[in-house]
Amino acid sequence: MSKKEFIPDPNKNPYRVRNSPQSHNNPGNPEFIDFNTQRVCPSCGGIIKISHNFCKYCGVDLSRIEAIGTTDEISKQLAITAVSDPNAEVRKEAVDTLGNFGDTKVLGVLTYVMLHDPDPEVRREAVDELGDLHHPYSLDALAKALKDESPEVRKEAIEGLKKIKKKVKEKKIEKGKASEREKDSDKEEEDKEKKDKKEKDKEKDDLEEKNEEEYLL
């Protein structure tokens, strides 16, 4: 089944929690991430099975965010480097490169690095990239970074939250503009015209077929 065909039902989310202390559990910091079988939640940084469409720690819907382990080999190798290379500068460059891809598939890796990397410069870089990607799922993660021991990381987290909030607000404004509503109305009208034309063409074909049968008789 393709991704377009699958629309998860939030009510069937096995990890859906509301106002429960369980939703605030720390997923922990495993020593190794197997990107072939695991993925990272971009909202909380938790490690879950690659096949899961919902995070078992925070309950967010991940069905529309591709796991990096199912993508190209280059992205996967960069993710491994970003979380495991012994050199901080190398990890930082890997994080920067992943962020430049501009794809939601890298969100989880960036979140994990932001929450767990021992070097503040690497964490700051991850925060910067998350802010530039403007994804709403990063809001909760960046809020956690506000408690980072490094003031530079905390400062970058504030900037990242500003970027995402601004982008979300702009999208809402665009959606509410008269021009956008007119576009939606025009599309509905166009779809209706296409449907009417299709029905008329079918009626015409049926009539021609009927007349041809009567002629033959």
Over residues 205-217, the pLDDT tens digits come to 556 656 655 655 6
On the question of pLDDT at 89 being above 70, the answer is yes
pLDDT class for 20, splitting at 50, 70, 90? Answer: very low
Residue 169: predicted pLDDT: 76
Q: What is the pLDDT of residue 168?
A: 77
Which residue spans within the chain are E strands per DSSP? 38-40, 47-49
Question: What integer pLDDT is reported at residue 17 of this predicted model?
Answer: 39
Mean pLDDT of 53-73: 91
Mean pLDDT of 55-63: 91
Helix then strand count (H, E) for the chain reads: 7, 2
The whole-number pLDDT of residue 217 equals: 60
Tokens of 115: 């929450």
Characterize 75-104 residue by residue with b for buried, 16 or more Cβ atoms within 10 angstroms of its Cβ, and e for exposed: bbebbbbbbeeeeeeebbbbbbbbbebeeb
Q: For the chain, which residues make up each domain, given as ranges? A: 10-174, 178-217
pLDDT tens-digit readout, 133-151: 999 999 999 999 999 999 9
More confident residue, 25 or 125: 125
- 21 contacts: CB under 8 Å, gap ≥ 6: none
Mean pLDDT throughout 2-10? 45
Q: Is the pLDDT of residue 37 over 60?
A: yes
The domain made up of 10-174 is a member of CATH 1.10.10.10? no
Yes or no: say if 156 and 128 are a contact pair by the CB < 8 Å rule: yes
Read off the pLDDT of each residue in 59-81 and give the average, rounded to a whole number: 92
Q: pLDDT tens digits for 159-197? A: 999 999 888 777 666 655 444 445 555 556 666 666 666
